[in-house]
Amino acid sequence: MADPFGILLSAGVSWATGRVLDALLDCLSCAYTHPREIQNKEVNYLSCPECGNSLPQYVNVCDYTLDSVSGRVGASGISGIWWDSWGGLFNPSFKPHLKVWTLDLRGRDQVVRLKLGELGGGSFYSYDVVLNSRLRYQRSNVWFSVPRHVFPRYSTTVTVDLEVLSEYNDLLTEWRSLMNYAYHSPTW
């Protein structure tokens, strides 16, 4: 996984809710700092001209993420998402695993939300895990275990949505995948 970028707003924070922000990016891989315009409430494809570190990073400048004294903007991301094969009689639970990183959100809670739903329909399962950032840059492992009985009793395409939210419901990052679900009636 590539290291995220620290973001420091270049100008006063009173206009920080605009769409395009002037910022200084701090590369955590090599400590090189360089200016860059970033889009607020969007995924920004950030890269370091010094070491080549790059990654897409969602930026949401809001009361929760902005340190009004230093001008630093906190961020969060998701990586390393995987799950074992599941279903059938011997592995009945859907158990997604992921890594959540947080930067400049020390001492604040984040909610990691897993939502499952049908493509084109509503969600049928949601579960939250609360994380607290204790360090400037922190990586946490998160595991979910979804019982088989919450899935529909027919075959369908299932959406797997992961979100990291502030304790005030501000979106910090999100991820979506689709998977085919084949219903198998239990045999007794």
CATH code for position 94: 2.60.40.10
Task: Quote the CA–CA distance of 112 and 105 in Å, as a whole number.
Answer: 14
Q: Which of 40, 58, 73 is the last residue of a domain?
A: 73
Task: Quote the CA–CA distance of 104 and 60 in Å, as a whole number.
Answer: 13
pLDDT 10s digits, 87-110: 655 556 788 999 999 999 999 999
Phi, psi of 14 (to 5 degrees): -65, -25
* pLDDT above 90 (res 11): no
Task: Quote the CA–CA distance of 183 and 63 in Å, as a whole number.
Answer: 44
Residues 56 and 131 in one domain: no
Q: What is the pTM of this model?
A: 0.88
Domain hosting 158: range is 78-181
| 187 domain residue, yes or no | no
Residues 89 and 162 in one domain: yes
Residues 108 and 121 in one domain: yes
pLDDT 10s digits, 38-68: 999 999 999 999 999 999 999 999 999 999 8
Contacts of 69 (CB under 8 A, 6+ apart): none
Q: Which of 25, 42, 73 is the last residue of a domain?
A: 73
Residues 92 and 128 in one domain: yes
Residues 100 and 62 in one domain: no
Residues 84 and 154 in one domain: yes
| 88 domain residue, yes or no | yes
| 176 domain residue, yes or no | yes
Residues 64 and 89 in one domain: no
Please give the tally of structural domains in the chain.
2
Residues 29 and 96 in one domain: no
Cβ atoms of residues 41 and 60 within 8 Å: yes
Q: Give the model's pLDDT for residue 68.
A: 87
Residues 156 and 140 in one domain: yes
Task: Quote the CA–CA distance of 86 and 78 in Å, as a whole number.
Answer: 22
Residues 85 and 173 in one domain: yes
